[in-house]
Structure 1
Amino acid sequence: MAAMVTLTAVVGALGQKGHGECWVWQRDNDRVICVDAGRTLHVGVAGGRHRPQILILSHDDHDHIGGAVDLIRAAGVSLEQLWVPVEWAILIKHLADAPDVDLLPDDLPQTPPRIETLVATQLVAAEDSGDHVATYGVELHDLLVAAETTLADLAAERDREGPPEASSEGVWRRWYGAASRQEIVDRVRKRATRLIAILGEACRRSLTIRYFSIDLALRVGAKRSWLTAGIPGRVTIANANEAPFWQAVQIPPGIPYTYALSRLTVQNRRALSTLLWSHSRDTTQAVIVWSDSDGNWLNTLSPRGFTHVAGSLLASSAPHHASDNAAHARVWQELAGAPQRMVMICAGGQGNQPYAAEYLVLASRRSCTRCRGHATPCQQVTAHGGTGAGLTLQPPCAASH
């Protein structure tokens, strides 16, 4: 039986830098699902007014989570669940576990192991051990309070000297352009403060918070995440498995670890990609929101069967705002196998960025949020219709791009 589905992109006014994106999905009269929350209060409130039951935050770029607290508040009692990358919780736990005297030692350690490997190894071990009793030792609310205390203590320490000079092995090449210890600490505080605000609001409203790990989805023998990770039949995370045992992860103290861990939360390559099911029994004619994912996970998951999902997509978000960025070529490669009737919406992005050629060639099967007017604080583009006849874009693109 054909289903009626609606995918709406909500963004801020074009005058705003990186005006953000928030996606709203509904199948028939089923649950409303929001993916990301835009950059501003206006976008968050607009998304929340759709009364979603589930909010999925893909990663912590500000144009994706800036309106999250406002969305949660505007959604009111309708909102039941918040889904986030597991790295968010691990960063909060790390800050809660390590007081500032441990985070800012006089003698910083040598090159720490790659933080991705450290996290992934422990998550997999916790998942496989079968003994998870110890992983539920502390409530998230208590960790948030302790992490806030650590951040307040860090504020008093941020004027200390910068990181040691780089060694011949490039010990400090992971500082991502930060020029001083003060800048490093400020970046950690800014990022963690946003996450604490979002998770804290979720706790105050007694939302069920679910955590997802790309590392678990990519390991050998993992289940096909797009079929199982989330609520099969409604919405799943295409590139991550659920990771409820995140409290088992232990990160050594020290700003090198803390800063590297804070960088995991923002990485495009680790952004969650959301699969929205058009049918309750299978993933044919699904809709996908890629977020800013680079799609390299497809090298592992597509051979396991995800290529068949892409081959029947009804609609898709434009990868990374349809930017002409080679880092997202793997997603476009996967979309080359999509059916001819698939429509695409480009939401957000920078006003001066060029479009990807793969997006431009879609012609009438694409629409964007960039060629709306500047007057309103929010703009929307919708793909709506039945799974039998396909989806119609409203409004169509008004520009020649």
Structure 2
Amino acid sequence: MNLAFTDEDIAFRNEIRAFIEENYPARLRGFADRDDMGKEDFLEWHRILGARGWSAPAWPTQYGGPGWGPTQRYIFGEELARAQTVPILPFGINMVGPVIYTFGTQEQKDRFLPPILKGEEWWCQGYSEPGSGSDLASLKTKAERDGDYYIVNGQKTWTTLAQHADWGFFLVRTKFDGKPQEGISFLLIDMKTPGITVRPIITIDGGHEVNEVWLENVRVPVANLVGQENMGWTCAKFLLAHERSGIAGVARSKVGIKRLKELARAETMEGASLIEDADFSRKIAELEIDLTTLEITELRTLAREQAGKGPGPESSILKIKGTEIQQRLTELAMEAVGNYAAPYVRGFRGDGDNMAVGPDYAHWTSPNYFNMRKTSIYGGSNEIQRNIIAKMVLGL
């Protein structure tokens, strides 16, 4: 594989870089160090990219994608990460959008794809349930047919940012006999429908990122069924393969290593810096080697998709290694700042005699560490991904 950029690639990179510099909202810079991001903050950059036709790099042109090849998509992701922009939330662009244009009706495509592209509607994912996470096929939320509607009852959990969502895509059970996977359907549900209750789950870092969602006699038009009834498992597997590829986060991990090195170069009270420690430098070097290897795998996956093939077992490899690297980054950051990572309260910046301890760069180390514990679980736990690799690659 030739990894050298052509003159056209370099010109494309410069175009992306200039666009970000000229159009990224100044008030959103440094978003990673803020805990006050609201719905409009997340959507503003999405809408700017949507107006330029760049919000969905992987979508086919007939559905509004820019028609980029693997190298262009790679460069685009690199430049967004380099500028540390607010990420486009994956639920619409990377997850339900491809499901709709692959399995949906023309009416569903016309209704839902344009608002997803433009950042006009916020989506959430209703997959996991209490007791149905890694064993997703055991889900119990049911949808019973009543004329032109389904009546939905059940509970979903770990529903990311559902407190902001306009729409949600939900897996529901429409048949109770036979194999569990054969009785699941894929529904699009308006989150303003009577009977839906969103309750916050406050995570260990003090944030309100995830929720539980209760559905009590929620009436959903049959027209919002994607694909055929009882065939939702096909949609679910398709979506999860795309989600896992995106979870890898190679470009942003490269930025994370750069920031980690900056932390390690900071002088300690003794005047030395951690980067001079051979053991710590070795840990960073090992992490960079793993990330470079993962980057090659990501490029192979992009090339496979460009050839018209969906994500294969590579998506599981990307998910496992990508999340492990993300977690190791936060672990090394904790090691780099040492005891300065210990005192943390969300939103606390110090006041009078209660000043936060340590330099500003250390204040977000522990919340990032705690938050990244989840990455090896969501999108299909890493243990499940290893089983998929064993079956699809090794034939076990």
TM-score (norm 1): 0.26
Point out the structure with the larger helix share: 2
Q: Which has the larger Rg? A: 2
The structure showing larger relative contact order (alpha-carbon pairs under 8 Å, at least 6 residues apart) is 1
TM-score (norm 2): 0.27
